Structure 1
């Protein structure tokens, strides 16, 4: 709706009021930095408005040959020229201020990344040292007189208002629709009102300050203010210029659309009751007519997304979950959860002629993106007992997969975030065979997969060693100290691509020709300890019948029996 201030602009105005209030405080480094942040937020807003203006100009350029655009095209070109010239002038002036300090103060700093030296340096503006008014005062003023650069700033400020007023008046006079349509004329006049409020210059050139004194306009706006304040004020003026330019372009495009098609260009769209079809199904899509316009303005959006498995929709936030771009709501929310989603809510269009609320109730599905071919090594369909085996279970076209027949399948599926897998499969203890079967929704209808059989095997035997200051595998010559203080350990084979912990619980030790001794635990103790001490150098020490447990992660309660191979050491 023309004349309406959007949410972003309201936020900018509020931040600017906060900035003005801060100037009344004792300017600390924190306050200066905060004003700097506001200045950078305004710069971001300027870029967004400039990008939107570029799109609007391109639309008019492409349609300039059509009768509705021929009348206003010269004035649009003049608007672009005047706006670009004024904004560029302010940019050059700000750059000059940052380079104008006679004391050699560096406001622009080349900052090196100390955390990551491989990254390039970044140029940053040091707002915390902009607490002096000198750079601008020296440029604009000499005691009570206004110097030439100051007078140029004042004249450009006044002339921008005059130039755009002339353009708006010319559009109203030359385009017949504004003479015949009161709402269209009102929308155009609202731009003029906005222009006057943002570029207000008193007739006598004086402004009343809070102490009741009338000051010259330039003294009131700039004299004696910290550099960061003046810099931000100029940025705010640039933002005002781009905002008025954007609003005028929106009115021009909107009124042409209303006059020609009632608000948008009719286009044909294909709508289907479901997201995907399979061979042999009846395709029941339909063609509908809809309006599409880059000047379409959403008054309100109440959008919610219901996630798979949830009954409570979550509200979507503009700027985070979606953006308004070229008269369209563009969703930018990354959805990682597969399943059926429901988009509900409404959008409201208000254009002074009527209010239209459009209800939204749509469904869509998210499925895993195929990145590799499905290849099966038929003789390698193996699940390892006691371990959570990563598996990628796919039922083409289906979402919300869950396991079925768990009690009969000898395996338990659990969701996982392991790369390349969507489930882990853990066989029950003692099983030699298992199968995996899942159920999912295809276009909202349940579908069950065929059972997929697997062999169940025990994990490969571990490699035995004794560990103290380091690990001593079979065949190592080890000192008496490391033998007696070392822990009997086991390790999974290096080429076995599963990660789990191993703890020895029982073993048999044979020291030379002495009798073999059974030890519970994982350290040499008792009589075996005496045998080791008495044995001469070179005596073989054999560790056999090694029993152990294995477990994944930190949960030892789900440990499984694990065998460790025999190994032999020599006493040093």
Structure 2
């Protein structure tokens, strides 16, 4: 078992560590902090996937232990020790993450234990994290304790490996490298990882350690699992198994399932009998059942899904034992036949607007998001970081249909469709910053913010930043006279400011010919009246 090659998981961890090291060499800017957050999120996602994969190995291991506890028990006990060592170490690393965030961000441990790195304000702080990990003349830093924990973890894990196989068995978590700073001065492992390292990098490094722990755990448990000979449990406890391709079947499709004897010799084909609509198949009623074809120890059961609803069947697997007798293993199963269906809804309004991104939610029954393929009769629907959006709607179209297709057994199936209206984005409402809802404002406030802005009407649940391009200001002078001034931007001109300064209480200022730039170009919007308070 010696001479291990680097696994894909190890290669990915190494690649992420190279990215992290490169980021540490750069000056800290907003872009660099954002990059740390992205790398950290990727590490956290990877860790969840690693953990799930390891749990799958344990599930298979436990199944074999249940079949033959006497022969698998030794390896299963070692696997449980590996799980304990890994769980305890990951818990400790998660504690370090929460504690350093708590001390640096000055929040409670409970808050720090759940906060996302993106929401941490002190991501670029390195003084407190350095004090936490490196310590001082009077205080031992946590990095030394972490180094001790890594050493202990690796010693415990390697003891689970047979002595002859330990050489070359890679557990990762290297701590004995030739560590140097940017000036090529020698550093300890703790200094190399945590001295003057910003909080964002520390959290990412700790998550990288978690990934290596899971990788080490997977390597050890896989080693233990492969140490079990398949023939050890070939003829032990046997149970009938049904593995359908899907429990959720669309009308017009076929239901397909593999029925076989678990952990049995595939050289012997059993007899499989099935009775549709039943909960059990007693041996005395086997003449009512249908015998299905078998190959390599499996029975393949296929029937058309011609009607909707919950379907069930029961059966038995008849097997010839090594000593020539026959033995029956009973099974039952049920599945659902349903019409294809999809849900399509606009997130903001019940219409789509031209020139902007319109968020939309789509889903299909029984299908993962990655299997969904939407299409439109006008415009385009694309997936973004925030979800699906509709865009590029043509000026001549007034409605469009979204059709949802999904992958189904290697083909595309239409799951549903929905018609949407297409409209021009509504005109915004011009405003003077600081004015009340009824248009009243003091001269001081008006001159403090000498510009026009605009926002969407309250009835429009949609955000778009219209830009004011020009406007005309009119001030009635009495006697039928008015003063008119024009601005070619959103700002008040100096002449406008002078006239506003001379206004009295209850004087009215009219802003008209307001031109704004929107998603489809420029347009004029309604005038507004402002009353001096």
Q: TM-score, normalised by structure 1?
A: 0.39
Who wins on radius of gyration, i.e. which is larger?
1
